[in-house]
Amino acid sequence: MARIEPGMEAMLDMYFYETNSLLEQLDEILLRTEQANCFDSEDIKEIFRIMHTIKGSSAMMGFDNLSVLAHKAEDMFFVIRENPDVITDVSFVYDLVFQVSDSYKAQIEAIQNHVDGEYESMDFTDLINKLLKARDVLLGETSADAVAPAAGTPAAAAPAVETDSDKTTVKVFFEDGCQMENLRAFLLINTIKEECSFLEFTPSDVETNPETSKTIIDNGFLITFKPLDNVDFVLKQIENALNVQSYEVVAAATAAPAAELPPEPKAVAPAPVAASSAPVAAPVAAPAAPEVKEQSSVEKAQAAVEKAQAASGMQKQNLISVNLAKLDALHDIVGEIITTESMVISNPDLEGLELESFNKAARQLRKLTSELQDTVMSIRMVPLAGVFQKMNRIVRDMRKKLGKEVDFVIEGEETEVDKSIVDSLQDPLMHLVRNCMDHGIEDDVQDRINAGKPEKGTLKLSAQNASGEVIITVQDDGAGIDPEKILAKARKQGILTKPESEYSEKEIQNLILLPGFSTNEQVTEFSGRGVGMDVVKANVEKCGGTIVVDSKKGSGTAFIIKIPLTLAIIDGMEITCGDLVFTVPIATIKESFKAEASQIIRDTTNNEMIMIRGVCYPILRLHEKFGIETKVTDLEEGILLLVETDNKSMCIFADKLIGEQQVVVKPFPKYLARYNIKGEGLSGCTIMGDGSISLIIDTNTLIG
């Protein structure tokens, strides 16, 4: 067990956030370049920079093992950076770096879950040795073709600009409140020292003396350097460095390129705290240093923009990170404001009064509160891109391990859903993607060819908005589900509830979502442990969603997940039954009507049904279901609501309709969690305009 250094706890959150973002960025670069099967020099620099930052911050936080690991990875990339041609076999480098990235994530998770500052310090010796070996191998190759030194680096590729021997002095300011200024300064020095033949900086003991942070905040960080070939290039690196807010050239070299730079402090595009500033700022900086990008500056700039867009899942300008608890609190308050507003506006004291100006003001208030509500909801909405991108990695790993050729297609990753839903979607999606890779896509390419399908399989992950719901589909073009096999397996497991002949194909397919069902005879590393699909189903249902399987034998399987955009506010229809008020989600209501005696049918066991336009629906009497005393027991007297979910329909019988209302869903109090109220068809409650409580009906469980 190791301990987190005292005094560092306050920085932990920021460290986690920063390091995790960097690792995600690293994964993203790796995945992108692996597809292209080559590193371009920008990517190598980027990876180098990421490793370097992680090394620095880990060392500062006292996570020595992480720091050493990053250091070794950095060493390896140092060799690659110096000579990009050395990599003849890229794949082993990828595997190594992915391993590094995974080890990091594992260790960080371990630290994150620490209790009282204690955490398990992992041993990375094996990996470090591998990295060292890789470095040596690469070094061997370097010396072999040392004749072509540093051919690919942009520094060398750029035409050397004649610079005066004068030195340039730059004063750098870091972003307000970015903390650890001294280390950031040190990292900056490290970044540019490769490009400089002379380098001096004040304060000079930034690496070892945290006290210098204050000096840097107050007076800026002074760097005097003599560039190897191009002042602009170094300046650009300073400008693009992490957390640099602005810099000014104090004493410029007399060379021409420097003159192009405005002497006053130059604001750098506000870069998100931890996300790479390089791709974002690159287009901005490109015009400032045309020589550097001379070869094909337009193309490069475009590439940079594309890169920035590709990474846009994580990178948005002007972002702030807010504690989720604060957002939840805000959300609660808005919910209460809406309730209170109804209490005021439809206050019984106002009944019968002619209040023209009050009504006007009330209308205005209502408009504003609804805007407020929309805004608060939108704050919590995050794009699915983050979760979707993680699947990329899983597909990559499995593609390698299983040796299957699969194209992974992502669509609609910009679709936004509530933050809490995004979080709970990650595991189910991961499982589905694994399942499709493992069981969906055929093991034998020949099978695919025989079936007339392209050799390469396709796995598609898509999301789309559809009337208050988000539909996420995981689809493969593999072998599909064999109903015979499923049925046989289900029979063996004893999970069939009715005669086999009564199962429709759809029902059979959905059997695989039941607990304890796994058709794969061989348990693989990735799936087939018998728990899985039912857990996926449970997870999806936990966030108010549904999942169905749609498969055709021979042509593929699709898992379709439908989830609500948000859980907190729904449009509801208020109905009464006895002295209770219920809310039925409007989305599930098909129609409401009064029954006529001629429509009502009773079967032999006296179950009531109703015939509407030639279709027969079962009737559920709310008062019987919930044991409520009511005077309205005659079906013709009360009201019937035709509700439908998942292609199942029925009619709910209640006393009467009150009307439509937008309601804020509140879960039942914690004390009641031990009683299975949810299982009885009530999903929560809501406080109405008059302060009374209405129970929200969960149509899904009620029908099921």
What residues make contact with another protein under the rule CB under 8 A? 335-336, 339-340, 579-580, 625-628, 666, 668-672, 674-677, 680, 682, 685, 687, 691-695
| CB-nearer residue toward another protein: 326 or 674 | 674
**Strand, coil or helix: 656:** strand
The CB-of-378 to another protein minimum distance in angstroms stands at 23
Instruction: Please report, as a single letter, which amino acid is at residue 257.
Output: P
| CB-nearer residue toward another protein: 639 or 665 | 665
Report how far residue 138's alpha carbon sits from residue 378's, in angstroms, rounded to the nearest whole number: 50
The two most distant CA atoms of the chain are separated, in Å, by 103
The CB-of-693 to another protein minimum distance in angstroms stands at 4
The CB-of-346 to another protein minimum distance in angstroms stands at 16
| CB-nearer residue toward another protein: 533 or 702 | 702
| CB-nearer residue toward another protein: 253 or 696 | 696
The CB-of-680 to another protein minimum distance in angstroms stands at 5
CA torsion 511-515-516-517 (nearest 10°) is 20
The token pair at 657 is 């309709």
| CB-nearer residue toward another protein: 301 or 628 | 628
The CB-of-624 to another protein minimum distance in angstroms stands at 11
The token pair at 430 is 């991961």
Report how far residue 397's alpha carbon sits from residue 458's, in angstroms, rounded to the nearest whole number: 16
| CB-nearer residue toward another protein: 512 or 622 | 622
67 closest CA partner among 131, 7, 126, 124: 124
DSSP output for 256-294? HHHHTS-SS-EEPP---SSS-HHHHHHHHHGGG-TTTTG
| CB-nearer residue toward another protein: 402 or 567 | 567
Report how far residue 132's alpha carbon sits from residue 393's, in angstroms, rounded to the nearest whole number: 25
666 closest CA partner among 332, 249, 166: 332
Report how far residue 136's alpha carbon sits from residue 233's, in angstroms, rounded to the nearest whole number: 30
| CB-nearer residue toward another protein: 355 or 693 | 693
Tell me if 456 sits within 8 A of 406, measured CB to CB: yes
Report how far residue 534's alpha carbon sits from residue 512's, in angstroms, rounded to the nearest whole number: 8
> How many residues are listed for the chain in this entry?
704
| CB-nearer residue toward another protein: 421 or 695 | 695
- Other C-beta atoms within 10 Å of 683: how many? 22
The CB-of-632 to another protein minimum distance in angstroms stands at 17
Distance of alpha carbon 497 from the chain centroid: 38
Report how far residue 58's alpha carbon sits from residue 11's, in angstroms, rounded to the nearest whole number: 11
The CB-of-330 to another protein minimum distance in angstroms stands at 14
DSSP output for 69-110? HHHHHHHHHHHHHH-GGG-S-HHHHHHHHHHHHHHHHHHHHH
- Other C-beta atoms within 10 Å of 115: how many? 7
Tell me if 298 sits within 8 A of 338, measured CB to CB: no
Distance of alpha carbon 176 from the chain centroid: 28
| CB-nearer residue toward another protein: 472 or 685 | 685
The CB-of-673 to another protein minimum distance in angstroms stands at 9
| CB-nearer residue toward another protein: 565 or 697 | 697
The CB-of-668 to another protein minimum distance in angstroms stands at 7
612 closest CA partner among 581, 579, 642, 646: 642
Report how far residue 357's alpha carbon sits from residue 31's, in angstroms, rounded to the nearest whole number: 62
| CB-nearer residue toward another protein: 10 or 671 | 671
The CB-of-575 to another protein minimum distance in angstroms stands at 14
The CB-of-609 to another protein minimum distance in angstroms stands at 23
Report how far residue 542's alpha carbon sits from residue 684's, in angstroms, rounded to the nearest whole number: 13
The CB-of-608 to another protein minimum distance in angstroms stands at 20
